[in-house]
Amino acid sequence: MSTTGRTETPRERYRQQVREEVKEKAWQQIAGSGASALSLNAIAKQMGMSGPALYRYFANRDELITELIRDAYRSLADAFIAVGDAAAGRPALSALAQVLRRWALEDPHRYFLVYGTPVPGYHAPQDTTAITAEIMSVLLDACTAAAPGARAAAFEEHLAGHREWAGGHPDAPPSALRLALGFWSRLHGVLSLELAGHFTGMGLDPARLYAAEVDGLTR
């Protein structure tokens, strides 16, 4: 059943099935060679299709990458929103931190597609920011509840004048904006290093390092 309430036709269902299979093959390619090497022609060959036939489902490589990025952001947004709903709109930062880490470890290739090195030559369309705004909105709700109402320092005043990254949130105090930025930058820093294997051989437990960062942010 579609979002408009009408029944999908067999042709529409088949088209969606093919698109999902294409995306599955794309993730396999990304896992093996990275997003920069993604090739619709290679996917078509795997699926026993011609290149022109596959282009009826995705016009080009960038359209396919955009769809993968949207799916990735959507899955994280839904996970954050579920935590927010369970907490009646006031989620704990520690709960969001654990959701973020589970989501990242569940599929590192998905994580790096959206938070890793940009794909050369690819530019994401503006509508993907709407999904990221949902993620930041839940985070700002948590930070507004957790942040002290202290007088804004110079950097916090700077953040108050540049809220684009926070998805708006006009009522969030500067201290909450700073806490959200610290949460996002510090935790993604640990996750990126862990998933890239940079802690290997260092003799430390990345999970404990991550927990220490969360504790430092929420104390």
Asked whether the beta carbons of 143 and 179 are under 8 A apart, the reply is yes
- Residue 216: count of CB within 10 angstroms of its CB: 10
Is residue 10 very low, low, confident or very high in pLDDT (cuts 50, 70, 90)?
confident
CATH number of 1-59: 1.10.10
The dihedral of CA 112, 207, 184, 140: what is its sign? positive
Is residue 158 very low, low, confident or very high in pLDDT (cuts 50, 70, 90)?
low
Question: Does the pLDDT of residue 4 top 60, yes or no?
Answer: no
Q: Which of 199, 194, 162 is nearest to 177 (CA)?
A: 162
Regarding the domain with residue range 66-218, which homologous superfamily does it belong to in the CATH classification? Tetracycline Repressor, domain 2 (1.10.357.10)
CA–CA separation, 60 and 212 (whole Å): 43
Which pLDDT score, from 0 to 100, does residue 38 have?
93
**217: its two tokens:** 């942010």
Question: Does the pLDDT of residue 8 top 90, yes or no?
Answer: no
- Residue 155: count of CB within 10 angstroms of its CB: 12
CATH 1.10.357.10 residue spans of the chain: 66-218
Q: What is the largest CA-CA distance in the chain?
A: 63
**Distances, alpha carbon 61 to alpha carbons 20, 23, 54, 65, 146, in Å:** 15, 11, 11, 6, 42
CA–CA separation, 201 and 23 (whole Å): 35
CA–CA separation, 27 and 47 (whole Å): 14
CA–CA separation, 187 and 181 (whole Å): 10
CATH 1.10.10 residue spans of the chain: 1-59
Summarize the confidence of residues 76-88 as an average pLDDT. Answer: 94
The pTM assigned to this predicted structure is 0.86
Which pLDDT score, from 0 to 100, does residue 2 have?
47
